[in-house]
Structure 1
C-alpha cells in the first residue's frame, strides 16, 4: 500500500513538473491614428486673377483639374502686356528653331526700319533697347533682348525678321495658338503694348508650360542679367528670379491695376523631388504687390508639408500575462514619423504573431501608418521576458496544468 502511494505521488510529481503550460494571455490594441492637421489655407491673391499648376506632387496634392490645381479671381480674359513677348518668342522659334539652349542661330542685321522702331516705342513710353542701323546680332541674343529687359522694339523687329511682315507674323501666331488649343488667347501685335492682347489664366498656365519646356526660352527667362553687343547691359524685369524658388518666366504691365507675372518655380518641400510650379498672376495693383502675392502663395504651399510624429519607442500596445504571475509588455520598437501634406488622413494597421521565446526584444509584429503616398513602419516587440513557473507553483496548481 505504501508503495502504491509513493508511486502515485511520484507519478504526480513527475507529471506536474513536466506538464505543458497554457500560453500566456495576450492583450493588444492598435494605436489610434493621429488626428489630421488643419487644412492648409493657400494664400491665393485677393486681387486680380491667379492660377497655379503643380507637377510632381500629384500623390500629395491630387491631380490638376483641367491643368489648374488652384485658382482665384475671374477666369475671363485680361490684358497680358509683355507676357505677349513670350508667345512671340515661341512663334518665332517654331519658324526659326535653334539647335540647343546655347545655339546662337542665324545672324540678324537690323536696318533703318528696325532702327526706327526705337523712336516709335519711345514716344509710346514702352521699354526699348538700343538698335543702331546696321546692328548685327544672333537670333538668340535678339530673343534675349526681347525677353530679359522686355524691349518692345526688338519684339517687333524679330517678328518681322522671322516672317517678313507683321501681317505674316500675326497669321503665324494665330495658327500657333489654335494648334496648341489656346482659343482664349488673342494677339494683335507682338509686344504687349496693346491692351487687346489678352488671355485667360488657364491659357497662360498652358503657355507657361510650353515655354518652360523650350530649352532656349527657359534658359533666357532664368537669366537675371546679360550684356549683348549692340544692345548693351540689361536686367530681367522678373526680379523674383532666384527668390522663393522662382525660376522664370515673364513679367508684364500696362500700368496701375494691370501688373502681371507668368512664372515657374521649383519648390523643395522635403518630398523625393522638388515640386515644379507654373503660375500666373494677372491684374495686380503694383509690381511689388504681385511679387508679394506670388511669394506668399509659394510659401503657403511649402508650409502645408510637414512631418507628423506617430509613435515613440517603448509606447505600450498590450501585454502578456501568465497564470503563475510572470508578465511582459507589448510595445513599439522604434520611433516613427511620417511626411505628409495638409490634412491628409493617416491610417494605421497592426499585425502580430504568436511569440516563440517570449523574450525581451523579440519582434512579434509591426505597425504601418499610411498618409497619401508615404508609409512608415515600426516593429512591435516584447518588453521584458516571460519566466517559467517555479516547481512549487507547478506542484500546487494542478488545475492550471495540462495545457
Structure 2
C-alpha cells in the first residue's frame, strides 16, 4: 500500500543541527555531573576508610570500692600492777600493754633463753630426743649449791644418762636451776662461754632490752622488758621441741620419777605455755594461749611481771586472755565472684570485673579492713581476662585478689562504625556494680 500526501496538511519541519553553543553547554553539564559523582565516590571512600580504621574508644571502669569495715575497740582487763604485754603470733605490735618498755627482773623466764641457745647449738629433729648426756658427781655438786642458794632444783643422779630433751624437761617444768648450769657446761664447756653465746643470740634476735648474767635467772640482774619477752615467747613457740615441752603438764623420767610443770594455768583459758618465774619479791609468768576465731585460731603470747604472788599473776593472766580473745574476729573482706568494676561501650557491650577468689582476714579490736580496687581501662577484651586487682589491707596483713572480666567487649563491626562515626571518639561510663 502506498502513502499519499495530503496537500492540505503542512509538511513537518526538518530537524536542525544543534549550534556549537549548545554542544558546549551540554559538555559543561556532563563534566559537572561526572565531577560530582567522582567527588562523592572519593569522599565516600575517605569516609569509609576513616570510619573503618578509627580506633575503638576506651571503656573506663566504673569502680565499686567497698567501704572499710571496723568494729569498736575491745576493752581489756588490765592487771593493775607490775608491767605486762600481750601480742599474737602473726600480728605486728602488741594487742595491749602496760609499762612494756620498763626493764624488770625476769627470774626463771631466763631459762627460755638457755633452752633456745642450747637448742641452736644442738638442734633436736622433730619427734626425736636428741643426744644422751651423762651426769656426774659434778652435777650433783651443782644441785646442792643451788639448794644452798634457795634456788629451785630438779633431782639428778650421778652416773645416769638423760637425753637432751629429758634434760630440758627437768630444767623447764620444775624450773631446775641445776639443770640450766649442767646444760650450759655440756653444750658450751662453761657458764661463761654460754653467757657470751647468749648475749650474741639476744642481739641477733633484736632483744636489745634483755640481759642475762647467769643460766637460771636467779640473779636480779637478769632483766628484760615485757615487750622483749613477748617476742622471746614467740621465738620459743617456733621451736617444735621447746613448744612441746612447755605445754606438758607432767612427764615421767625413769631416772628422776615424775616431774610437774610449775605453770598451773596449763589447760585452762586456752593456755599452753610457757614459763613461770619467781624472785624474792615478785612472781612472773610468760604465757601462750590458743584461741578459736571463726574457722581458724590465734595464738596469744603475753607476760605479766611483778605480781605479789603467783595466784595474783594467774588471775591477771586469765583476765587478760578472757578479755582479749573476743576482740579477735574473722572478717570476709571479699567473696569470690563479687563485681567490683563495670564496663560499657557505645555499641552496647557490657562487662564486669569480678573477684576471682574470696579473701578472709582475722583482725583484732578496731583494726579496719579496707579493700582498694584497681581496674584497667579497656578497648577490646575477651571473657575471663585478668583486668585488675583488689588489695585487702588489715593492719599488717595484705592480700591481693586478681580481678577477671565477666563478659566481653568486642569490635562493633563495619556497619556500626559507618553508621556511628562520632561515637568512635567517645566512650561510655558504666554505672558502678551493685554492692555485694
Q: Same fold (TM over 0.5)?
A: yes
What is the CA distance between 1:343 and its match in structure 2?
A: 5.9
Distance 1:52 1:307, change over 3 A: closer
Distance 1:209 1:39, change over 3 A: closer
Structure-2 separation of matches of 1:93 and 1:244: 29
Distance 1:342 1:179, change over 3 A: closer
Mapping for residues 305-384 of structure 1, pairs under 5 Å: none
Q: Is the 8 A contact 2:100 2:227 kept in 1?
A: no
Q: Which residue of 176, 186, 192 corresponds with 2:217?
A: 192
Q: Report Cα offsets for 1:318-341 as digits up to 9, x if no partner.
A: xxxxxxxxxxxxxxxxxxxxx997
- Give 1:393's aligned residue: none
What is the CA distance between 1:278 and its match in structure 2?
A: 0.9
- Give 2:84's aligned residue: 50
- Give 1:295's aligned residue: 318
Distance 1:182 1:342, change over 3 A: closer
Q: Which residue of 254, 259, 262 corresponds with 2:283?
A: 259
Structure-1 separation of matches of 2:258 and 2:174: 9
Mapping for residues 140-289 of structure 1, pairs under 5 Å: 140-256=165-281, 258-270=282-294, 272-289=295-312
What is the CA distance between 1:180 and its match in structure 2?
A: 1.1
- Give 1:117's aligned residue: 142
Q: TM (normalized to structure 1)?
A: 0.64
Query: How many residues align structurally?
Result: 281
Q: Is the 8 A contact 1:48 1:74 kept in 2?
A: no
Which segments of structure 1 move beyond 2 Å, counting only runs of 4 or more?
36-40, 302-308, 339-347
Structure-1 separation of matches of 2:230 and 2:122: 24
Corresponding residue SS for 2:123: coil
Structure-2 separation of matches of 1:172 and 1:305: 38
Correspondence 1:72 to 2:104: no
What is the CA distance between 1:208 and its match in structure 2?
A: 0.7
Q: Is the 8 A contact 1:47 1:73 kept in 2?
A: no
Q: Is the 8 A contact 1:80 1:197 kept in 2?
A: yes
Q: Which residue of 88, 101, 125 corresponds with 1:99?
A: 125
Structure-2 separation of matches of 1:158 and 1:345: 47
Distance 1:104 1:38, change over 3 A: closer
What is the CA distance between 1:235 and its match in structure 2?
A: 0.7
> Which protein is bigger by CA-based radius of gyration?
2
Q: Is the 8 A contact 1:146 1:152 kept in 2?
A: yes
Q: Is the 8 A contact 2:293 2:330 kept in 1?
A: no
Q: Is the 8 A contact 1:46 1:73 kept in 2?
A: no
Structure-2 separation of matches of 1:103 and 1:44: 40
Structure-1 separation of matches of 2:205 and 2:326: 35
Structure-1 separation of matches of 2:369 and 2:212: 48
Structure 1 residues 236-245 or 294-303, which shifts more? 294-303
Structure 2 unmatched ranges of 5 or more:
1-66, 332-361, 371-393, 398-436
